[in-house]
A = this chain, B = another copy of it.
Amino acid sequence: MSTEGAKRQPKYQRIADELRDAIQAGQYRPGDRLPGENDLMADHGVARMTARQALGVLQSEGIVESRKGAGVFVRAFRPLRRQGIQRLARSQWGEGRSVWSVDTEDRTLVVDRVRVTEQGAPEHVARVLGVEEGEPVCVRSRRFVLDGKPVLLATSYLPAGLVAGSSIAQEDTGPGGTYARLAELGSEPVHFREEIRSRMPTAGEAEQLKLSTGTPVMLICRTAFTDEGRAVEVNEMTLDSASYILEYAFDA
């Protein structure tokens, strides 16, 4: 056999560690190609599956990305910054600018695949909106794309009775967006709650967001309340975690 000393760790881990260190040390920069499976087999005298496993480790850590037929490449991290509180200040959406245009920071975030339907409220949405399960709600789904890469899926739910006949039920909600329309309907949202969690994406999410393996999603569920404390919208968002930093600024 080979030398005994270094057997404390699995081979694939040692190979992965070596590559990770090289990346951290700057020997490979974002976008660079790493040694492929064949290179690792030759360099380390190891079987195919073992080299593969080593690359799999880095891939599932999200620091590396494989492209079929091309190679394995170092990933970059260049996120957007999403201002959780300022974005919802009245001054932002009262002035005809889209809520979302605040996001962009000079890159262009475009909306894509808008779909507006009416359907029965799912259980968890019904509970938050304070309606019966299955009661009709207006469902607005959109996807947002940045420089050709989808970064955000958003689905909002509003009581169907509340928005009937308004442009909220249309694809284009007009200047100021949904919240300006709600205000005109006498249900101005003034209080918000955002709940955030993170997990690995489902297959469907990974496909819609074109996520590479090893990239989690962040989930934001925002509930909008009127001044009477009535919930008028639930907005469920799914964010590519490699594309976003969330920011909340507030006073003690």
Contact = CB atoms under 8 A, between A and B. Distances in A.
Interface of A: 49, 60-62, 79, 84-85, 88-90, 189-202, 213-218, 241-242, 244-252
A192 B90 contact: no
A190 B215 CA distance: 35
Contacts of A252: 88-90, 189-192
The 10 closest A-B pairs by CB, nearest first: A216-B216, A198-B241, A198-B198, A196-B246, A193-B249, A62-B200, A190-B252, A194-B248, A197-B245, A61-B200
Given A193-B249, A195-B246, 17 more contacts: A49-B49, A60-B60, A60-B200, A61-B201, A79-B197, A88-B252, A89-B252, A192-B249, A194-B247, A196-B247, A197-B218, A197-B244, A199-B241, A199-B242, A216-B216, A216-B241, A248-B250
B200 A214 contact: yes
Contacts of A189: 252
A85 B126 CA distance: 26
A246 B60 CA distance: 24
Given A61-B202, A89-B252, A247 B192 contact: no
Nearest to A241: B198
Nearest to A223: B249
Contacts of A214: 200
A91 B199 CA distance: 33
Given A49-B49, A60-B60, A216-B241, A85 B199 contact: no
Contact of A190 (B191, B194, B251): B251
27 contacts: A49-B49, A60-B60, A60-B213, A84-B248, A84-B250, A85-B250, A88-B250, A89-B252, A190-B251, A190-B252, A191-B251, A191-B252, A192-B251, A192-B252, A193-B248, A195-B246, A195-B247, A196-B196, A196-B218, A196-B246, A197-B244, A198-B216, A198-B218, A199-B215, A216-B241, A218-B218, A250-B250
